[in-house]
Every structure is written in structure tokens, then in C-alpha cells.
Amino acid sequence: MSESEVFERTCAELEQATSFDSLSARGTVRLALKSAGFEPRKVTSVEMVVVVKRVLPAELKARGVRNADEVCATIADRIADLVTASPQSQSPVEEVFRRLGGR
Amino acid sequence: MEILAAAGALAFMLVSLVIGLRLLGLARRTRELPELAIGLGYFLIGGIGYPLLIVSNRATDLSVGARLGLLWASLVTTAIATTAIGVFVWRVFRPEARWARAAVWTFPGLSAASLALQASISGMDAALRHQGIGILLYTFLNSCPIAWAGVESFHYHSLLVRRARLGLADPVVADRMRLWGIGNLCALVMNTGSLVGYFFGIDLALDPAGALLISGLGLVASCATWLAFFPPRAYTRKVAARAAG
């Protein structure tokens, strides 16, 4: 089962910006996504940027990364180019239920 | 006691019928499969299947042949309805899962097999008294798509609530998912309760505690499903304001 491009890119950026190895970086991003209600396979770039800015810092602080906010801001900047490449689309499930309730 | 049970059942039938018609109208406009499938499910269960089942069970003045005809019509309609609900859950929540597709396409065959089992072993007249392994199996099978819908809706609700905290999901849609889950859960408990009752030779509608249970669940399911698919503006405003606050 392949993960999304933005997930792979975020993990690579996190690995580069910290002392994490590949496994730790992927595990940390996975946990951040899970607590935000997303799956690595389906998360979009817009969603990932928000998760990196608002959820990932706490995960990094919990793992002893001192400059967590700066690291996350840098990662968010670096993955931002993917946002324009793949604009956010609402989850199909959410879209169906919006139609069903007339909103 | 029957009147008490009937209040909840009647509310459930009316709400299912109205919502089914509304969703079928929506499907006519959008030409999308999900609203067609779920609209068909609600319409056939609430508008045809459940009322026919009640008449076949309670109208003892009718001839056995007429009651059996109504029972057959009810069972076939309900099987089509629950298959439609299964199609909705598969296409909306698990469109890529092979197991989900297989489950949906296997379901009608299993329902037909359970009815054939009833007809060949116990006879359909025994089904009027809720007796026979085939009819119990059929009732169990028809609970499965509802249980599946309940699991998926509560799971997705938990995801959407977390996303909504980050501004990445609509809290009104998250709430709709919760309400639909509650409706499914109540329907499941009603079905399972009746199944267990039949197994022990008890008709819940005639039992005081059972009638209270059916009535309560029917009313809760009706309210939750109505709010999910026909939310008054004041309610959606309240949900949005609560999420914003």
C-alpha cells in the first residue's frame, strides 16, 4: 500500500531537519496524522501543511526536539510547493454527506 | 403494549419513507449512485418492507395465503433495501476494497439462500410465527449492512471531529455522520433484539419491556435520522456555533 507523495516528502524533510532516522521520522509523521484524523495514503498537501504547522510541533517536542516550531515551519515551507501542484479536494465521503443533508 | 411499540415503529417507518423519497429526489437531480442507493434503502424499508411485515404478522383476519404473500413481498423488498444500504456503504466508505465489493455482491445470494432454507425446512407459514432457522438467518443477514454502516459512520465521525478541530472538515457534516451512526445503531439493536427474542420464542412487541425498548429505539432512530438528513437551520447553526466556540 503506497503512501501519498506529500507524506513521503514530509518524512524526508523531517529526517533531514532532525537527528531522526527514517523509521522515527515516518512514525512521528504517522502519529501526527493519526491525531489529526488523516491517513498517510490519502492526506492531501493542504491538509499536510496544516498538520505540520499545528500538530507536528507537539510530537517533536515530546521527542526532545528543541526547536520544534522552527523545524516544522521550515518543513511546511518546503512542502508548500506541492500545494499548488495538487489543490485541496474535499474527501469524497464528506462530499457525499454534505449533499445528503443539503449542505 | 402493542400500541407503545407501534408508536416507535410508526415514527421509524414515516421518517424512513419521507427521507427515502427526499434522497431519491436528490438522486434524480444529481444522478449520483450514493443518494440513489441510500434513498432506495430507506424508501423500501420504511415505505414497503416494514409495513408489509407488520400487516403479515398482525392481520390474523387475512387468509394464510394472503399473509404469506405479504410476507414474501416484505422479505424480498427488505433484502433489496439492505443490499442498497450495503452498496451505499461500499461505494462511499470502501470503494477500493475488494472484500467490500465481494460482501455486497454475495449478500443477495445469501439472503435468497436463507429464505430457500426456511421454505424447504420449516415452511414459510412458520416464518409468520418467526420460527425456523432460515428466517432467523435472514434476519441476522439483514442486520449486517446496518451494522457495517454503523461502524463506518462512527469511525468516520471520529476522523472528521479531529479534522474539524484544525479547520479541515465541516463540523456540521461530522455531526451528520454521528447522527446517522446513532440511527443505524438503534436499528441494529431493534433487529438484534427481535432476533434474540424470536430465538427464545418471545415477540418483543407483545412483551412489556420489549415494547418499551422497541418504542424508545424507534423514536431515537427517527429523531437522529431526521436530524441527519433533514436538519432544521436552527440545529445546523447550533452545531456550527458550538464547533466555532
- Does the distance separating the beta carbons of B176 and A100 come in below 8 Å? yes
How far apart are the C-alpha atoms of A59 and A52, rounded to whole Å? 10
What is the predicted pLDDT for the residue at A90? Answer: 65
ipTM tops 0.85: yes
Q: Tell me the shortest Cα–Cα distance from B93 to chain A, in angstroms.
A: 6
Give the rounded percent of residues in chain B with a pLDDT score beyond 90.
76
- Does the distance separating the beta carbons of B170 and A94 come in below 8 Å? yes
What is the predicted pLDDT for the residue at A92? Answer: 87
Q: Which residue of A has its CA nearest to B175?
A: A97
**Mind listing the pLDDT tens digit for each residue in B175-214?**
999 999 999 999 999 889 888 888 888 877 778 888 888 8
Residue B27 grid cell: 438522486
What is the 8-class DSSP label of residue A2? P
Nearest-by-Cβ selection for A97 from B30, B32, B176: B176
Question: Which residues are within 8 A (CB) of B149 and not within 5 positions of it... i.e. 6 or more apart?
Answer: B85, B88, B89, B180, B184
Residue A81 grid cell: 510547493
- Does the distance separating the beta carbons of A101 and B92 come in below 8 Å? no
- Tens of pLDDT along chain A (103 residues) come to 588 999 999 999 999 999 999 999 999 999 999 999 999 998 999 999 999 999 999 999 999 998 999 999 999 999 988 775 554 556 789 999 999 987 5
Q: How far apart are the first and last CA of chain B?
A: 44
Residues of B in contact with A102 (CB under 8 A): 231
Identify the residue whose cell numbers are 527514517.
Answer: A22
Cβ-contact A21, A36 below 8 angstroms:
no
Residue B219 grid cell: 423514536
> What number of other Cβ atoms are within 10 A of residue B130's Cβ?
18
Residues of B in contact with A96 (CB under 8 A): 32, 34-35, 92
What is the 8-class DSSP label of residue B1? -
